[in-house]
Chain A
Amino acid sequence: MSVALEATWIPRRYRVAAVRPELPDTVSLELDPESGESPAFEPGQFNMLYAFGLGEAAISLSGDPADRARLVHTVRAVGPVSRALAGLAVGASVGVRGPFGRGWPTATARGHDLIVVAGGLGLAPLRPVLLRVLADRACYGRVVVLVGMRTPREILYRAALDDWAGRADLEVEVTVDRGDADWRGHVGVVTSLIAQLALDPRNAVAFVCGPELMMRHGAAGLIGAGLESEQIFVSMERNMKCAIGLCGHCQFGPAFVCKDGPVLRFDRVGRALAIREW
């Protein structure tokens, strides 16, 4: 086995430096390497986080790509591994392999209007995109952020969204599926907001992340607004094992999500996304 391949197989030890509760079932973990620096990553890439003794899960990098000192991962407890990860305390050890996959094509978006459409936890892999864009804001045209969440109490990164909404150089709209007595914002699916945007479709690039059904509707809405499939990128989620294109666990049509994705251009996946799996 080559040294490079070994490095992608063997988890490095990180220590939990901080735990930020986000939602009742979701936390953000800040991780410091036990030695050396963290490798650089691209927005949209993921790591395999290893809960020792239990197993690994693919978790997106959700922190600032410019920050090499600390990794940030936002984990929702849905099964054994993610539950163990979300329950880690400050000082605990965790194994990290990665970063893996192809991320969002932020270089392609430079010089264009950028439309970011996020649903639920799908905002996690898009947060590094926004942090990168804001660090270099003048290089992009109009930047629109459309976010869909379940309820007002389940808005991920609410403080950051409030901050971004207050900026003159970002257009941020948050919608929820179900409002409550205090909610004064949008109610309805995030994809309905696309038609209200008055986009210049020739000059736009869109990044969409969330549950597959939401991404399919989101892409349809963007195409309805005049974008071509080639201007739309989505991030796919499939079960991962090796994360380096060897085991075939994550195959989606002709693509291996771990290696060719998770971010894929919509013209490559649109047809497969419409196939019924159950």
Chain B
Amino acid sequence: MRVEELGDAVAGCTRPVEFVTGEYLLRVGAPADECFLIEQGRVALEAHAPARPAQVLATLGAGDLVGLSWMLPPYRWACDARAVRPVRAIAIDARRVRERCDADPRIGYHLLQAVLRAAIDRLQALRLQHLDVYRGADP
């Protein structure tokens, strides 16, 4: 997606950011105050389980939104997001955007549709990934 697709809700609430490889954009459980729209680079969404290395659920790239849980309470991230290549992104001030959406449901609805589209695309992709379509015949 492009930042314009998020509509008026984000106008004036963005700033350019960069992350080096290995740096975290989001940490699970942390307050969801700022999300990111990737312009360049690659980000891994990671899940942790005790006594196991982090598992990469999916990688995101140019045009992908990093962080979806900022729109709904409790406003906390649901997984880690780590730069696996240098990243250039647009940071969006989620707190201010929420306040705007609360104040003006019209722009809030527009934003919600754009974020929901990204969430549905992600869900579809994860479904397909989970279906294990490249598996050979069972032994």
Which residues of A are at the interface with B, using a C-beta cutoff of 8 A?
A: 25-26, 76-79, 119-121, 148-150, 154, 175, 177-179, 181, 183-189, 191-193, 195-196, 198, 210-211, 213-214, 217
Contact = CB atoms under 8 A, between A and B. Distances in A.
A236 to B, nearest CB: 15
Interface in B99-139: 121, 124-126, 128-129, 131-137
A26 to B, nearest CB: 8
Contact of B61 (A26, A77, A193): A193
B87 interface: no
Contact of B125 (A121, A183, A184, A192): A192
23 contacts: A25-B136, A76-B136, A78-B136, A78-B137, A79-B137, A150-B132, A177-B132, A184-B84, A187-B44, A187-B56, A187-B57, A187-B59, A188-B58, A191-B125, A193-B61, A195-B64, A195-B121, A196-B61, A196-B63, A211-B133, A214-B128, A214-B133, A217-B124
Given A213-B128, A217-B128, A186 B59 contact: yes
B125 A189 contact: yes
B62 interface: yes
A76 B132 CA distance: 16
A187 B58 contact: yes
Contacts of A148: 134
Contacts of A189: 125, 128-129
Nearest to A216: B128
Contacts of B63: 195-196
Given A193-B61, A196-B62, A188 B133 contact: no
Interface of B: 42, 44, 53, 55-59, 61-64, 84, 121, 124-126, 128-129, 131-137
Contacts of A25: 136-137
Interface-centre pick from A26, A188, A217 (highest chain B CB count, 10 A): A188
Contacts of B121: 192, 195
B134 A149 contact: yes
A184 B63 CA distance: 20
A177 to B, nearest CB: 5
Given A195-B63, A217-B124, A119 B133 contact: yes
Given A188-B59, A195-B64, 18 more contacts: A25-B136, A77-B136, A77-B137, A119-B134, A177-B134, A179-B55, A184-B84, A186-B59, A187-B56, A188-B58, A188-B125, A188-B126, A189-B128, A191-B125, A196-B61, A210-B133, A211-B133, A211-B134
Contacts of A149: 134
9 closest A-B pairs by beta carbon, nearest first, are A120-B134, A78-B137, A188-B58, A211-B133, A150-B134, A196-B61, A187-B56, A189-B128, A179-B56
Contacts of A214: 128, 133
Contacts of A196: 61-64
Contacts of B61: 186, 193, 196
Nearest to A151: B134
A201 to B, nearest CB: 15
Interface-centre pick from B63, B129, B137 (highest chain A CB count, 10 A): B129
A273 to B, nearest CB: 14
